[in-house]
Amino acid sequence: MASMWKSVTYVVLITGLFSLTESQEDGEEIPRIGIIGAGVGGTTTAYYLRQLFGKEAVIDIFEQDRVGGRARSINIDDFEYEAGAAVLHPLNEYMVNFTNMFGLERIDASEGRIGFFGSDGMKVETSTWTAVTMAKLLWRYGYDIVKIQNWVQDSLLKNFTRIYKLQNEGIAFTTVEDMLQVMDPEFVRYTHTTIMDVMKEQGFSDIFIKEMVHAIMRNNYGQSVAIPAFVGAVSMAGAQPGLWAVKGGNKQVPEKLLKKSKANLINGKVTQILLQKDGEGVTYEVSYKNPDPESKDQEENAREYDIVVIATPLPTGQTNIKFEDFTQHLPLPDLKLHETIALFVQGYLNASYFGYENLKDMPNGIFTVDEDVFFNSVGKQRPVSFKEHLKKKDVEEEVYKVFLNRVPTEQEVRLLFSGRKDLRLINWKAYPQYSTNMELPPFVLYDRLYNVNAVEIAASALEMSAIGGRNVALLAYNHWYGHLDKIDEVSESDAPSVKQEL
């Protein structure tokens, strides 16, 4: 269980979310820190490590691709479009705070009209009129459409937000299970029970689960209602009103976190983490090389660190990072990544395929409700600038994003689109292939060796990465100074109350 991964730790002085502290404990050596991965998880970790350790700490971030990780954009016809993590929830406290800190503008990212489509045609679609939408959804799904909002709020968001208070108090957790347990003991159970089973327990109808819930799982995670209930509930939260995105692109958040952290960005592919010195004063050697395989410079370089943070996925049997000279087995997660295909098409959606005579009558977003449909969703896209395509002569020529679980055939593309000007395909190792058999892993792999992405086994989202990043920063700081009272220690007032029936 989680207790086997408990380690020693600390007390930390939190002086506010956005000001960098210049203080560290008097007379103590300042660590050299290496972070692997410059996505939201890695850059959040760097930001909080700088805040905790002060300006003297050496912080390097290795990135073999681009800053931002899975927050990325794609250029089509001189406009940038979100190609990775596209929307955020209004209760995502860290992402909201980061945009405030950096003066970034938050823009409504709602899809507009939505349709739920099956192999036998459109099941139901929303309207531009709220009253009409409610009437349609109530007619098909009954009171479930109202109940789901309360369930997400009461079963997830209310207790989920407890983590922010705990982290502001400097409390860190050695395992994902410990973190979920202190939010709400039910969250741990939710990682080992399907969203379908939990929603049936709560009295939701089969048609609501089979159609709406399944469609949302397919769109957000490319998976079914057999997905664990915790990540399923996170997915349902991602379908609530009030969703937003960063004007100019969500990737700006990690880019600005990196700059604020004053970390050194190293364009390198990490190949090995060597335990150089064990016991008291553990040190690591991180080896890396040029990430471009066509470059003539393939000489391997190495740097020494007191603390190493891994902020990139470690898929089982597929990671290129070797762990050498460790005296015990490392508790690496049993992780298989789900392959999502993001297909961008600039052209004309085939209205007749969806049962419409006119393209202008179609919803902006279409979610599919069953496995027989070869794609998960298709939606009209706005550029990250949120400017309309004023230069276009034909208003029907739009950019669409299609999510699939495999590369489509040419015939399938022609089914969806009656014509196209441009087509781009991104093979996106976006998130874990979720299963209720997955074990919740530790954040601590070895003494002063941490895994931010352990949090993804519970749920993959930008905010989850930020939470995992801050947790690891607090762990590293507390372990470094040997304080004990802020790791896995929660006061009685902070402990979750006994779960009430919903």
Per residue in 227-238, pLDDT (tens digit) is 999 999 999 987
Taking residue 56's Cβ as centre, other Cβ atoms within 10 Å add up to 10
Contact between 451 and 333 (Cβ < 8 Å): yes
Does 420 have pLDDT greater than 90? yes
Q: Domain ranges for the chain, please list them.
A: 2-64+251-335+435-481, 73-124+337-432
Task: Say if residue 397's pLDDT is above 70.
Answer: yes
Q: What is the pLDDT of residue 293?
A: 77
Query: What mean pLDDT is predicted for residues 31-39?
Result: 97
pLDDT band of 282, cuts 50, 70, 90: very high
Q: Return the closest-CA partner of residue 73 out of 476, 444, 342.
A: 342
> What's the average model confidence in pLDDT over 73-98?
91
Phi and psi at 48, nearest 5°, equal: -75, -30
Percent of the chain surpassing pLDDT 70: 90
Q: In terms of Cα–Cα distance, which of 258, 278, 212, 283 is closest to 44?
A: 258
pLDDT higher than threshold 50 for residue 183: yes
Report the chain's terminal Cα–Cα distance, integer Å. 28
The rounded mean pLDDT for the chain is 89
Can you give the length of the chain in residues?
A: 502
| pTM attached to this predicted model | 0.91
Spatial strand order of the sheet with 444-446 comes to 264-267, 58-63, 32-36, 307-310, 449-451, 444-446
Residue, of 397 and 476, whose pLDDT is higher: 476
Average pLDDT on 101-113 reads 89
Could you read off the pLDDT of 427-439 as tens digits, one per residue?
988 899 999 999 9
Is 90 exceeded by the pLDDT of residue 267?
yes
Highest mean pLDDT among 148-157, 239-248, 424-433: 424-433
CB atoms < 10 A from the CB of 279, how many? 7
* CATH 3.90.660.20 describes domain 73-124+337-432: yes
Q: State pLDDT tens for residues 329-359.
A: 999 999 999 999 999 999 999 999 999 999 9
Compute φ and ψ for 108, nearest 5 degrees.
-55, 125
pLDDT of 16 higher than 50: no
pLDDT at 492 exceeding the cut of 60: yes
Estimate the share of the chain in helix, then strand, then coil, as percent rounded to the nearest 5.
Answer: 30, 25, 45
CATH topology of domain 2-64+251-335+435-481: FAD/NAD(P)-binding domain (3.50.50)
pLDDT bucket at 20, cuts 50 / 70 / 90 = very low
Phi, psi (5° rounding) for residue 14? -95, 125
Residue 294, pLDDT > 90, answer: no
Q: Is pLDDT of 394 > 50?
A: no
Query: In this structure, are residues 288 and 269 in contact, taking their beta carbons and an 8 Å threshold?
Result: yes
Report how far Cα 89 is from the mean position of its chain's Cα atoms: 12
**What phi-psi label fits residue 22: left (phi over 0), alpha (psi between -120 and 50 degrees) or beta?**
alpha
Measure the CA–CA gap between 72 and 150, rounded to whole angstroms: 33
Region 138-161: mean pLDDT is 91
pLDDT score at 385: 85
pLDDT at 184 over 50: yes
Per-residue pLDDT, 29 = 84
pLDDT(465) > 70: yes
Q: In whole angstroms, what is the distance from residue 391 CA to residue 339 CA? A: 35
pLDDT value at 286 more than 90: yes
Q: What is the pLDDT of residue 9?
A: 29
pLDDT at 79 over 50: yes
Q: Largest Cα–Cα distance in the chain?
A: 75
Burial class (CB in 10 A: 0-12, 13-18, 19+), 303: middle
Residue with tokens 């000007």: 421
| Residue 297 pLDDT | 77
Q: Check: CB of residue 419 under 8 Å from CB of residue 352.
A: no
* Average pLDDT of the segment spanning 173-187: 96
- For residue 304, which phi and psi values (nearest 5 degrees)? -105, 140
Q: Between β-strands 417-432 and 365-368, what pairing exists: parallel, antiparallel or unpaired? A: unpaired
Q: What is the gyration radius of the CA atoms in the chain, in angstroms? A: 23
If one compares 468 and 107, the residue with the highest pLDDT of the two is 468
Q: Mean per-residue pLDDT for 178-195?
A: 96
Query: What's the average model confidence in pLDDT over 170-181?
Result: 97
Binned at pLDDT 50, 70 and 90, residue 174 comes out as: very high
Residue 81: which residues within 8 A CB-CB, separation 6 or more? 73, 74, 75, 344, 381, 382, 383, 384, 399, 401
Q: What is the pLDDT of residue 109?
A: 83
Residue 18 has pLDDT above 50, yes or no: no
Mean pLDDT, residues 482-494:
81
Q: Per-residue confidence at 204, pLDDT binned at 50, 70, 90?
A: very high
- Angstrom distance (rounded) from CA 281 to CA 114: 57
- Categorize the per-residue pLDDT at 295 as very low, low, confident or very high, splitting at 50, 70 and 90: confident
Of residues 393 and 45, which shows the higher confidence score? 45
Confidence (pLDDT) at 132: 94
**Which pLDDT band holds residue 388 (cuts at 50, 70, 90)?**
low
**Rounded-to-integer distance, Cα 218 and Cα 228, Å:** 13
Q: Is the pLDDT of residue 422 over 60?
A: yes
pLDDT at 396: 55
Domains 2-64+251-335+435-481 and 73-124+337-432 share a fold: no
